[in-house]
Structure 1
Amino acid sequence: MARSRITAEELEDLRLSYDIPSSISLRAPGPEERANDPPEGVVTIYEPVMQQGLHLPMHPFFCEILKDWNLAPCQITPYGWGQMVASYLLWVVAEAGRNLTPREFESIYRPCQSSS
């Protein structure tokens, strides 16, 4: 099992880079933990997902989508997050500020399992 190499300083750099509020705890996986199998009460989010536009705390729209799909944030690829964020933002702009509902989003986008 590969150990995480991220340092406390790098976590703080990520906090600053992505404007993560101090109320959200950040930590690297411990020596016996894996990012893809976090302990109870912990959620893994990879940096490329943040680069695609996901912000913390997570917008209620994305929380509801994840809940409906029974997925954790790390189970959606960075590309998938980019598509979700872009779709949401384009809808809000096109609809003059009206939020996209999860049902409307699910009518055009559904997750699929990777073939790999």
Structure 2
Amino acid sequence: MGLVGGGPVGSSSNFVGKWAAEDIPSIVSEAELDALRQAFRVPANIRFYVPEPHERACSPRKGYVALHVQSFNAGLRLPLDPFYRCVLRVYGLAPTQVAPNGWEFVYVVLALHRV
């Protein structure tokens, strides 16, 4: 599972403040992925990988899905809760299409539903 962090805006941007996902390289390291796995108790059967310099979160390797590290801080957990999977499926979204604060909202809805 490739994870992407922030990064500098690439030189292909035409306007100040405008940028594309292809311009943002991943800055996550193997050590950070190990720490993430420990901190959020990600099962060993879920594979992580550090993206190559040319890989981007918007086009992960075949068989993988990209996630933003910040999404874990916002409540996302692996394996995905069935409710999270349902939200993604119903709206036709990939996990990276949900901003971290969106995951916070889904987390709160799920928590309220389970009360």
TM-score (norm 2): 0.74
Percent of residue pairs identical: 33
Which position in structure 2 is the counterpart of 1:63?
A: 85
Deviation of 1:6 (Å) = 2.1
Quick one: which amino acid aligns to residue 48 of structure 1?
Answer: Q
The answer for unaligned runs of 5 or more in structure 1 is 94-116
Which position in structure 1 is the counterpart of 2:49?
A: 27
Deviation of 1:34 (Å) = 0.6
Which position in structure 1 is the counterpart of 2:114?
A: 92
Are 1:79 and 2:98 matched, yes or no?
Answer: no
TM-score (norm 1): 0.74
The answer for unaligned runs of 5 or more in structure 2 is 1-22
What per-residue deviation string (whole Å, max 9, x for no partner) do you get for residues 29-54 of structure 1?
Answer: 11221112212211111111111111
Q: 1:39 aligns with which of 61, 80, 88?
A: 61
Quick one: which amino acid aligns to residue 97 of structure 2?
Answer: Q
Quick one: which amino acid aligns to residue 63 of structure 2?
Answer: G
Number of aligned positions between the proteins: 93
**Alpha-carbon RMSD:** 1.3
Q: Secondary structure at the match of 1:64?
A: helix
**Alpha-carbon distance in structure 1 between the residues aligned to 2:91 and 2:27:** 31
